[in-house]
Amino acid sequence: MNVSQLAKVELHLHLEGAAPAAFIRQLAHEKNVDISGIFTPDGGYDFENFIEFLAVYEAATQVLQSPEDFQRLTTAVLAECMANDVVYVESFLSPEFCGGGDLSAWREYLHAIREAAAQAERQHGIIMRGIPTCIRHLGPERAKATARCAAETAGDWIVGFGMGGDEMQGRQGDFAYSFDMAHEAGLHLTSHAGEWGGAASVWQAIEDLRVVRIGHGVQAIEDPALVTELVAREIVLEVCPGSNVALGVAKTLATHPIRALREAGVKVTVSTDDPPFFSTTMRQEYQSLAEAYDWTADDFRDLNATAAAAAFCDEATRGRVLEKLELP
Protein backbone atom coordinates (compact mmCIF):
# COMPACT_ATOMS: atom_id res chain seq x y z
CA MET A 1 0.00 0.00 0.00
CA ASN A 2 1.15 3.50 -0.81
CA VAL A 3 2.02 5.44 2.39
CA SER A 4 -0.26 8.27 1.30
CA GLN A 5 -3.24 5.96 1.84
CA LEU A 6 -2.52 5.12 5.47
CA ALA A 7 -5.17 6.01 8.07
CA LYS A 8 -4.31 9.43 9.50
CA VAL A 9 -4.82 11.78 12.43
CA GLU A 10 -4.90 15.51 11.66
CA LEU A 11 -4.51 17.95 14.56
CA HIS A 12 -4.15 21.32 12.79
CA LEU A 13 -6.95 22.23 10.41
CA HIS A 14 -8.76 25.59 10.30
CA LEU A 15 -12.42 24.99 9.48
CA GLU A 16 -12.89 28.04 7.23
CA GLY A 17 -9.38 27.56 5.86
CA ALA A 18 -10.39 24.08 4.73
CA ALA A 19 -13.26 25.46 2.62
CA PRO A 20 -12.74 24.53 -1.03
CA ALA A 21 -12.64 27.67 -3.21
CA ALA A 22 -15.58 26.31 -5.24
CA PHE A 23 -17.63 26.00 -2.03
CA ILE A 24 -16.93 29.64 -1.11
CA ARG A 25 -17.64 30.79 -4.68
CA GLN A 26 -20.98 28.96 -4.62
CA LEU A 27 -22.00 30.60 -1.31
CA ALA A 28 -20.93 34.01 -2.67
CA HIS A 29 -23.15 33.41 -5.69
CA GLU A 30 -26.12 32.35 -3.52
CA LYS A 31 -25.76 35.38 -1.27
CA ASN A 32 -24.89 37.86 -3.99
CA VAL A 33 -21.61 38.81 -2.37
CA ASP A 34 -18.85 39.96 -4.72
CA ILE A 35 -15.56 38.46 -3.57
CA SER A 36 -14.35 37.66 -7.08
CA GLY A 37 -11.09 39.51 -6.31
CA ILE A 38 -9.87 36.76 -3.97
CA PHE A 39 -9.76 34.06 -6.66
CA THR A 40 -7.16 33.31 -9.34
CA PRO A 41 -8.34 32.90 -12.95
CA ASP A 42 -8.16 29.11 -12.53
CA GLY A 43 -10.39 29.21 -9.47
CA GLY A 44 -7.97 28.94 -6.53
CA TYR A 45 -7.40 31.46 -3.75
CA ASP A 46 -5.21 34.38 -4.84
CA PHE A 47 -2.47 35.64 -2.46
CA GLU A 48 1.25 36.30 -2.66
CA ASN A 49 2.34 36.31 0.96
CA PHE A 50 1.21 35.72 4.55
CA ILE A 51 -0.46 39.11 5.06
CA GLU A 52 -2.39 38.74 1.81
CA PHE A 53 -3.29 35.18 2.83
CA LEU A 54 -4.86 36.47 6.07
CA ALA A 55 -6.84 39.10 4.14
CA VAL A 56 -8.10 36.60 1.54
CA TYR A 57 -9.00 34.15 4.33
CA GLU A 58 -11.03 36.81 6.11
CA ALA A 59 -12.73 37.91 2.86
CA ALA A 60 -13.73 34.31 2.14
CA THR A 61 -15.35 34.00 5.57
CA GLN A 62 -17.71 36.89 4.70
CA VAL A 63 -19.98 34.46 2.87
CA LEU A 64 -20.21 32.17 5.90
CA GLN A 65 -23.12 33.97 7.50
CA SER A 66 -25.31 31.47 9.32
CA PRO A 67 -25.20 28.25 11.35
CA GLU A 68 -26.52 26.45 8.26
CA ASP A 69 -23.54 27.70 6.21
CA PHE A 70 -21.19 26.25 8.82
CA GLN A 71 -23.14 22.99 8.82
CA ARG A 72 -22.66 22.72 5.05
CA LEU A 73 -19.01 23.73 5.41
CA THR A 74 -18.35 21.08 8.05
CA THR A 75 -19.96 18.38 5.88
CA ALA A 76 -17.82 19.44 2.90
CA VAL A 77 -14.62 19.58 4.94
CA LEU A 78 -15.19 16.18 6.55
CA ALA A 79 -15.85 14.64 3.12
CA GLU A 80 -12.45 15.91 2.03
CA CYS A 81 -10.84 14.55 5.23
CA MET A 82 -12.36 11.13 4.57
CA ALA A 83 -11.15 11.19 0.95
CA ASN A 84 -7.69 11.53 2.51
CA ASP A 85 -8.12 8.62 4.95
CA VAL A 86 -8.26 10.93 7.97
CA VAL A 87 -9.97 9.04 10.81
CA TYR A 88 -9.71 11.74 13.48
CA VAL A 89 -9.49 15.49 12.98
CA GLU A 90 -9.22 18.41 15.37
CA SER A 91 -10.42 21.61 13.77
CA PHE A 92 -9.84 25.19 14.81
CA LEU A 93 -13.16 27.00 15.05
CA SER A 94 -13.53 30.74 15.27
CA PRO A 95 -16.25 32.26 17.46
CA GLU A 96 -15.30 35.53 15.70
CA PHE A 97 -16.74 34.16 12.44
CA CYS A 98 -19.54 32.33 14.29
CA GLY A 99 -21.49 35.18 15.86
CA GLY A 100 -18.69 37.70 16.46
CA GLY A 101 -17.89 36.45 19.96
CA ASP A 102 -21.51 36.52 21.18
CA LEU A 103 -22.04 33.47 23.38
CA SER A 104 -25.62 32.60 22.47
CA ALA A 105 -24.89 32.96 18.74
CA TRP A 106 -21.77 30.82 19.18
CA ARG A 107 -23.89 28.08 20.80
CA GLU A 108 -26.13 28.01 17.70
CA TYR A 109 -23.21 27.85 15.28
CA LEU A 110 -21.55 25.18 17.38
CA HIS A 111 -24.74 23.14 17.45
CA ALA A 112 -24.88 23.24 13.63
CA ILE A 113 -21.20 22.26 13.27
CA ARG A 114 -21.68 19.40 15.73
CA GLU A 115 -24.79 18.17 13.86
CA ALA A 116 -22.74 17.85 10.68
CA ALA A 117 -19.91 16.14 12.57
CA ALA A 118 -22.28 13.70 14.28
CA GLN A 119 -23.89 12.80 10.96
CA ALA A 120 -20.49 12.17 9.33
CA GLU A 121 -19.44 10.03 12.28
CA ARG A 122 -22.69 8.02 12.19
CA GLN A 123 -22.47 7.47 8.45
CA HIS A 124 -18.74 7.08 7.92
CA GLY A 125 -17.00 6.75 11.29
CA ILE A 126 -14.81 9.85 11.03
CA ILE A 127 -14.31 11.55 14.41
CA MET A 128 -14.06 15.34 14.73
CA ARG A 129 -13.35 17.55 17.76
CA GLY A 130 -13.25 21.36 17.99
CA ILE A 131 -10.71 23.89 19.24
CA PRO A 132 -12.07 27.45 19.48
CA THR A 133 -9.30 29.77 18.44
CA CYS A 134 -8.72 33.46 19.01
CA ILE A 135 -7.26 35.64 16.29
CA ARG A 136 -4.06 37.26 17.42
CA HIS A 137 -4.19 40.39 15.27
CA LEU A 138 -7.63 41.26 16.69
CA GLY A 139 -5.95 41.74 20.06
CA PRO A 140 -6.29 40.47 23.66
CA GLU A 141 -9.68 42.04 24.40
CA ARG A 142 -11.45 40.25 21.55
CA ALA A 143 -9.62 37.08 22.55
CA LYS A 144 -11.34 37.19 25.94
CA ALA A 145 -14.78 36.90 24.31
CA THR A 146 -13.50 33.92 22.29
CA ALA A 147 -12.07 32.32 25.43
CA ARG A 148 -15.38 32.79 27.20
CA CYS A 149 -17.21 31.06 24.33
CA ALA A 150 -14.68 28.23 24.53
CA ALA A 151 -14.88 27.91 28.32
CA GLU A 152 -18.69 27.91 28.35
CA THR A 153 -18.88 25.12 25.79
CA ALA A 154 -15.92 23.04 27.01
CA GLY A 155 -16.67 19.34 27.20
CA ASP A 156 -16.20 16.11 25.32
CA TRP A 157 -16.43 17.85 21.92
CA ILE A 158 -14.87 21.27 22.50
CA VAL A 159 -11.58 19.99 23.82
CA GLY A 160 -9.05 22.77 23.43
CA PHE A 161 -8.34 26.46 23.01
CA GLY A 162 -5.90 28.02 20.59
CA MET A 163 -4.60 31.13 18.86
CA GLY A 164 -3.86 31.80 15.17
CA GLY A 165 -3.38 34.92 13.10
CA ASP A 166 -0.57 37.41 12.61
CA GLU A 167 2.25 36.34 14.87
CA MET A 168 4.14 39.60 14.28
CA GLN A 169 1.56 41.52 16.31
CA GLY A 170 1.80 41.66 20.10
CA ARG A 171 3.29 38.94 22.30
CA GLN A 172 1.99 35.52 23.26
CA GLY A 173 1.84 36.62 26.90
CA ASP A 174 -0.65 39.40 26.05
CA PHE A 175 -3.21 36.61 25.74
CA ALA A 176 -2.45 34.90 29.07
CA TYR A 177 -5.78 35.94 30.61
CA SER A 178 -7.70 34.13 27.86
CA PHE A 179 -5.51 31.04 27.95
CA ASP A 180 -5.83 30.89 31.77
CA MET A 181 -9.63 31.10 31.47
CA ALA A 182 -9.65 28.25 28.96
CA HIS A 183 -7.25 26.20 31.09
CA GLU A 184 -9.47 26.60 34.15
CA ALA A 185 -12.40 25.31 32.08
CA GLY A 186 -10.41 22.12 31.46
CA LEU A 187 -9.40 22.88 27.88
CA HIS A 188 -6.05 21.79 26.45
CA LEU A 189 -3.94 24.57 24.98
CA THR A 190 -2.17 25.19 21.69
CA SER A 191 -0.93 28.37 20.01
CA HIS A 192 0.53 29.23 16.62
CA ALA A 193 4.16 30.15 17.29
CA GLY A 194 7.50 29.80 15.57
CA GLU A 195 5.97 30.17 12.14
CA TRP A 196 6.98 33.84 11.74
CA GLY A 197 7.98 34.97 15.24
CA GLY A 198 11.15 32.89 15.60
CA ALA A 199 12.23 30.70 18.49
CA ALA A 200 11.42 33.54 20.93
CA SER A 201 7.75 33.20 20.11
CA VAL A 202 7.83 29.47 20.94
CA TRP A 203 9.56 30.20 24.25
CA GLN A 204 6.79 32.71 25.06
CA ALA A 205 4.05 30.24 24.19
CA ILE A 206 5.41 27.50 26.45
CA GLU A 207 6.39 29.85 29.31
CA ASP A 208 3.58 32.43 29.27
CA LEU A 209 0.60 30.45 27.94
CA ARG A 210 1.38 26.95 29.23
CA VAL A 211 0.54 25.33 25.92
CA VAL A 212 1.16 21.61 25.45
CA ARG A 213 1.14 21.81 21.65
CA ILE A 214 2.47 24.43 19.26
CA GLY A 215 0.96 25.30 15.88
CA HIS A 216 3.89 25.10 13.44
CA GLY A 217 6.81 25.73 15.85
CA VAL A 218 9.30 24.98 13.10
CA GLN A 219 11.52 28.00 13.82
CA ALA A 220 12.42 26.30 17.11
CA ILE A 221 15.22 24.73 15.08
CA GLU A 222 17.07 28.07 15.33
CA ASP A 223 17.64 27.63 19.09
CA PRO A 224 19.26 24.40 20.34
CA ALA A 225 18.30 25.16 23.97
CA LEU A 226 14.66 25.43 22.89
CA VAL A 227 14.86 22.14 21.02
CA THR A 228 16.19 20.52 24.22
CA GLU A 229 13.35 22.11 26.19
CA LEU A 230 10.67 20.91 23.75
CA VAL A 231 12.04 17.38 24.00
CA ALA A 232 12.19 17.53 27.82
CA ARG A 233 8.66 18.88 28.16
CA GLU A 234 7.30 16.58 25.44
CA ILE A 235 5.70 19.53 23.65
CA VAL A 236 4.07 18.40 20.41
CA LEU A 237 4.50 20.41 17.19
CA GLU A 238 1.59 20.57 14.75
CA VAL A 239 3.78 20.85 11.65
CA CYS A 240 2.20 21.82 8.33
CA PRO A 241 4.98 21.41 5.75
CA GLY A 242 2.94 22.29 2.64
CA SER A 243 1.63 25.44 4.30
CA ASN A 244 5.16 26.46 5.27
CA VAL A 245 6.46 26.03 1.74
CA ALA A 246 3.44 27.79 0.18
CA LEU A 247 3.82 30.81 2.50
CA GLY A 248 7.61 30.92 2.29
CA VAL A 249 8.40 29.88 5.89
CA ALA A 250 10.62 27.20 4.29
CA LYS A 251 11.98 27.38 0.75
CA THR A 252 11.49 23.69 -0.04
CA LEU A 253 10.57 20.48 1.71
CA ALA A 254 14.19 19.40 1.41
CA THR A 255 15.23 22.30 3.66
CA HIS A 256 12.17 22.18 5.93
CA PRO A 257 13.03 21.76 9.65
CA ILE A 258 10.60 18.88 10.30
CA ARG A 259 13.19 16.19 9.70
CA ALA A 260 15.87 17.79 11.91
CA LEU A 261 13.33 18.44 14.68
CA ARG A 262 12.15 14.84 14.56
CA GLU A 263 15.69 13.50 14.55
CA ALA A 264 16.45 15.69 17.60
CA GLY A 265 13.64 13.89 19.43
CA VAL A 266 10.94 16.58 19.24
CA LYS A 267 7.43 15.15 18.96
CA VAL A 268 6.21 16.19 15.50
CA THR A 269 2.92 15.58 13.73
CA VAL A 270 1.77 16.41 10.18
CA SER A 271 -1.27 18.48 9.16
CA THR A 272 -2.50 20.56 6.22
CA ASP A 273 -3.51 23.84 7.97
CA ASP A 274 -5.69 25.35 5.18
CA PRO A 275 -5.46 22.77 2.40
CA PRO A 276 -7.26 24.48 -0.54
CA PHE A 277 -5.31 27.70 0.11
CA PHE A 278 -2.03 25.82 -0.12
CA SER A 279 -3.10 23.39 -2.87
CA THR A 280 -2.43 20.45 -0.62
CA THR A 281 -4.19 17.46 0.97
CA MET A 282 -3.18 15.00 3.70
CA ARG A 283 -2.39 12.39 1.03
CA GLN A 284 -0.24 14.94 -0.80
CA GLU A 285 1.63 15.82 2.41
CA TYR A 286 2.45 12.15 3.08
CA GLN A 287 3.47 11.58 -0.52
CA SER A 288 5.77 14.63 -0.55
CA LEU A 289 7.39 13.72 2.79
CA ALA A 290 7.94 10.14 1.67
CA GLU A 291 9.63 11.38 -1.50
CA ALA A 292 11.69 14.11 0.17
CA TYR A 293 12.99 12.08 3.13
CA ASP A 294 12.53 8.44 2.12
CA TRP A 295 10.17 8.04 5.06
CA THR A 296 8.50 4.63 5.15
CA ALA A 297 5.15 3.36 6.43
CA ASP A 298 6.80 2.86 9.84
CA ASP A 299 7.75 6.56 9.98
CA PHE A 300 4.21 7.60 9.17
CA ARG A 301 2.75 5.13 11.69
CA ASP A 302 5.07 6.70 14.26
CA LEU A 303 3.83 10.21 13.35
CA ASN A 304 0.23 9.05 13.72
CA ALA A 305 0.95 7.40 17.07
CA THR A 306 2.40 10.73 18.27
CA ALA A 307 -0.66 12.59 16.95
CA ALA A 308 -3.12 10.16 18.56
CA ALA A 309 -1.31 10.45 21.89
CA ALA A 310 -1.36 14.26 21.61
CA ALA A 311 -5.03 14.51 20.61
CA PHE A 312 -7.07 16.58 23.06
CA CYS A 313 -9.98 14.09 23.15
CA ASP A 314 -10.91 11.88 26.12
CA GLU A 315 -9.33 8.47 26.64
CA ALA A 316 -12.31 6.47 25.33
CA THR A 317 -12.17 8.42 22.06
CA ARG A 318 -8.37 8.01 21.88
CA GLY A 319 -8.91 4.26 22.19
CA ARG A 320 -11.29 4.31 19.23
CA VAL A 321 -8.80 6.39 17.21
CA LEU A 322 -5.98 3.93 17.94
CA GLU A 323 -8.21 1.09 16.78
CA LYS A 324 -8.91 2.90 13.52
CA LEU A 325 -5.17 3.43 13.09
CA GLU A 326 -4.58 -0.23 13.95
CA LEU A 327 -2.08 0.88 16.59
CA PRO A 328 -1.62 -0.71 20.04
Active site residues: 195
* Stretch of 55-63, 132-140, 245-253, 272-280 contacting Zn ion, by CB under 5 A: 272-280
| Residue 80 partner contact from ligand MCF, Zn ion, none using kind-dependent CB cut-offs of 5 to 8 Å | none
**Contact status: 273 vs Zn ion (CB under 5 A):** yes
* Rounded Cα–Cα distance for residues 123 and 8 (Å): 18
Q: Which CB atom, from 142 or from 267, has the smaller least distance to ligand MCF?
A: 142
Helix, strand or coil for residue 156? coil
**Contact status: 14 vs ligand MCF (CB under 6 A):** yes
Non-local CB neighbours of 58 within 8 Å, separated by 6+ positions: none
- Pattern 34-73, ligand MCF, x by CB under 6 A: --------------------x--xx---------------
Binding residues for Zn ion, total number by CB under 5 A: 1
Do 104 and 148 meet the contact criterion of CB atoms below 8 Å apart?
Answer: no
- Pattern 229-268, ligand MCF, x by CB under 6 A: ----------------------------------------
Q: Which CB atom, from 273 or from 285, has the smaller least distance to Zn ion?
A: 273
Q: Helices 21-31 and 67-83, interaxial angle, to 10°?
A: 160
**Whole-number Cα distances in Å, 307 to 26, 60, 98:** 34, 29, 27
- Report phi then psi at 213, rounded to 5: -130, 155
Contacting residues toward ligand MCF, per CB under 6 A: 14, 17, 54, 57-58, 92-94, 133, 135, 164-165, 192, 195, 273-274
